[in-house]
Amino acid sequence: MKVARPSASRSTTPYRPPAPPKAPAAKPRTAANNNSTGSHAWLTHHFYVFFSSLGQFARAPLQNIMAAAVIGVALALPAGFYLLLENVQNISRNWGGTLQISLFLQADATPEAIQTLSDQLSQRADIQSVQVILPEQALQEYRNLSGFSDALTALNQNPLPAVLVIQPKQTTEGHAPPQSLLDDLAQLPAVDIAQHDMRWLQRLSAMLEIAKRGVLVLAGLLALTVLLVVGNTIRLSIENRREEIEINKLFGATDGFIRRPFLYSGFWYGLLGAIIAWLLVYLAFALLEHPVQQLTALYYSEFTLMRFDWRSSLLLLAAGIFLGLAGAWLAVGRHLRDINPR
């Protein structure tokens, strides 16, 4: 029996399994993706350095608090003096709110003549009001304010004259009465002395302006002190971490990367120093408040000490942070150039 042989035309190729499906091509990274990743890493490092610098601050609390206390005292001195001058100027504004002329009358002026003169002056167009202070009232007020009641009782007669307190009509707020009105009132027959009550306040304002300029000079000198304190503290920190900085430079770390922890350290020094300064000024004015109230009560005044408001507090904090960052930036920029990897 013959077996049929396969024809030569039939192919005998081996079986090949189907190829697996191709994976989708990876999308090319765009510049936007690179920027997003870089920004995320930059922010992450900032957050890390922000809290790690606070941890470094807490590892040596005594040394760091002492440095911050020096900064606080340097900030508290000009801030306290300036706030004190603002209180004195506020007192002068309260006393100078009514620009007055005091007419000291002749000692032999009778009550009838005093009242007649007061009525005549009240009818003038350039005078708003007239207040009569009789000699007995003036003596009683002086006795209450001076504390020399026993000595005044021993006097045989009242040495104080009658006074007319003139309130001129104001054409411009805050301006003194015209000199012509003062000269006109001084020529009245019953008037012994005509005195403008704003003159001593004007002298006080001039002295306060000089004192403010002095406080600004003091603030500049103490700001320089803060820069030196922060710079010296950061310099010591750089020297303590010199090997770490050299290793970072060997691995290609940029100056900005290395500078960042020290800048945040300067931030914490400035912030804590400003908080200490605020507390020192607050405690100082709290100690002064009761004696000031006793003094102002003797002058029938309800003046209260003006303290830091939220704007002044934020300004003090901002000044401390700025000086801390500036001192750290100057110190790091100066000393990083001297550190090179071996």
286-303 pLDDT per residue, tens: 999 888 888 777 665 677
The mean pLDDT of the chain is 80
pLDDT at 323 over 80: yes
Any idea which residue has 């001129």 for tokens?
A: 168
Domains and CATH numbers, the chain: 46-94+203-336 (no CATH), 97-197 (3.30.70.3040)
Give alpha helix (H) positions in 96-195: 111-122, 135-146, 149-153, 179-186
pLDDT at 157 over 80: no
Tokens for 93, please give them. Answer: 């504004």
If pLDDT is split at 50, 70 and 90, which confidence band does 108 have?
confident
DSSP run (H or E) holding 130: strand 127-133
pTM: 0.67
Q: Return the closest-CA partner of residue 232 out of 78, 70, 72.
A: 70
Which pLDDT belongs to residue 314? 96
Q: What average pLDDT score do residues 272-286 get? A: 96
Beta bridge partners of 194: 103
pLDDT at 219 over 70: yes
Tokens for 108, please give them. Answer: 């032999």
| CA gap 51, 42 in Å, rounded | 15
Beta bridge partners of 195: 102
Which pLDDT belongs to residue 1? 44
pLDDT tens for residues 241-262? 888 888 888 887 777 788 888 8
- Of 94-103, 123-132, 285-294, 309-318, which has the strongest mean pLDDT? 309-318
Share of the chain above pLDDT 90, in %: 25
Which pLDDT belongs to residue 282? 95
Q: Return the closest-CA partner of residue 173 out of 96, 225, 264, 78.
A: 96
| CA gap 84, 107 in Å, rounded | 41
Which pLDDT belongs to residue 45? 65
Higher pLDDT pick, 189 / 253: 189
| CA gap 327, 267 in Å, rounded | 10
Q: What average pLDDT score do residues 121-138 get? A: 86
Which pLDDT belongs to residue 94? 63
Distant-in-sequence, close-in-space partners of 88: CB < 8 Å, separation ≥ 6: 204, 208
| CA gap 311, 315 in Å, rounded | 6
